[in-house]
Amino acid sequence: QVQLTESGGGSVQVGGSLRLSCSASGGTSSTTWMAWFRQAPGKGREGVAAIYRGGNSPYYAENVKDRFTISQDYAKNTVYLQMNSLKPEDTAMYYCAGKRTYDSEWFVEERYNSWGQGTQVTVSS
């Protein structure tokens, strides 16, 4: 079973930046895709960015494209989410997730079988 641990959340002002980290351990060799999801208060969880562990091929939600960048460090077994030009609507709990399938359903949370505990991001004006 893969264990995922997020870190790097915090409070920033509008226009600021944060970098989230997701450290993976235990059975990661079977993981195909890693993704970041987020959930704002009173809303459902939405996919933000996904990356293929076997290469790169990042995918982004439209509302974060050109502001967020997902990347990975194989040696550290860590996935990152660099978030720039943050907006108040980016405020949410951010979750790291991993799945074992090769389908293209990058932002369907039911396809992911490993989840972290989440890290809070708060953007204030």
List C-alpha distances in Å: 116 to 15, 16, 35, 51, 93: 26, 24, 11, 16, 11
| DSSP secondary structure of 52-83 | ETTS---EE-TTTTTTEEEEEETTTTEEEEEE
- For each of the chain's 125 residues, which pLDDT tens digit applies? 789 999 999 999 999 999 999 999 987 788 889 999 999 999 999 999 999 988 878 999 999 999 999 999 989 999 999 999 999 999 999 999 999 988 889 999 999 999 999 999 999 99
